[in-house]
Structure 1
Amino acid sequence: MSRGRRVACLVRSGDPRRSDVIQRLDGLGLWQDHYAGQLEIVAGDLAEPSLLRIDRPVYDELALRAGAIVHCAAWVNHVFPYDVLAEANAHSAAAILELAVTKHRKPVTFVSSGGVFEPSHYPVGTEIAAGPLTGFPPECDGYGRSKAVAEAHFARAAEGGASVSVVRIPSIFGDRDARAASRTATPSGAGPRPFS
């Protein structure tokens, strides 16, 4: 928004949660009052495969005017198994990709997690190159596996010509009240790496 761009946020319950979004951005020092006209809240749900539970006219209009998609939402839970988290974290990738090709093609940036790296496939000391995963975490690691399966959807779309970037955040732990990552959680230079 600092560059003057409009941002549409998919939020369960829609516009009544606008103040929550603004409050969180403000708490991170990212909100300025003049952004108000640039922020659009869209009622929807990642866990709903049909149009992300967005009303059809709103979906079509959003698909027409969106220039890019950043998918950074997830159900973060390191206790639940894969089958509980799959709808929101893994299967939502297909719905996001469908939105990305509706009306016109839009590039997608997917925010993933370092939790996708299964230790048996990536032993300590292994250099991990940008690109698709070579193995998935087990189903009992629901969060890691669900993000890995989503990455696989995006990698497959990239093979078919879609413009997809995946950003793997190594870990996000920090002050829960400030909703900020610790300085050690985000390495300098971390950024999107397109699949090729």
Structure 2
Amino acid sequence: MKTNRVTIKKKRNTSSMKSPIYFLFFITSFLVCQTSFAQENFEKTKIVTNVFKALKKQKVKIFLKSLPTKDDITYLIPVERAAQPDKDIPDVDLIISNFKRDASENFRKVIKKGNAFGVDWKDIILQKVSYDDNPDPDPDIQMERGNITLVCESNDKKFLIVIRKTYKIRDTWRLMDRIKFTLL
């Protein structure tokens, strides 16, 4: 009977020795999964799908859907005024008009540049999307900002489309600058 107790006791010690290891493994796995799930899947964001679809169809109208809306600009103006009270901020309609004009021109240049390098826009394939955080230089403006890069391919040509200075305004990523075409 004593040997049975010793054997049972040894088994308990062995399993209790493994417990901290299993617990540590569980906690580590949980934290890794939590971090990976907390990161946004940029491939599925509206800005990426709109920009990619616009390029594929060569439709500036689809591209312009990625710009901030009137409500977005109205939301941003007080934020900007609070950060820079002396700055002269134009009217909302003028801001939107300038964004549309500049974005349309930029879009056409990207299409033209891609054509010059042999890109067949109708057949582009999205291979990868990445995000590089680019915090606002003004610490008073607390807003998520960064560059979104689309790695694409067409006719055995690899290229990047960088959506520069995107801002997350009210949980939606918006195009605040230009896109850039770079042949790899």
Give the structure-2-normalised TM-score: 0.22
Larger radius of gyration: 2
Give the structure-1-normalised TM-score: 0.21
Query: Relative to total residues, which structure has the larger helix share, 1 or 2?
Result: 2
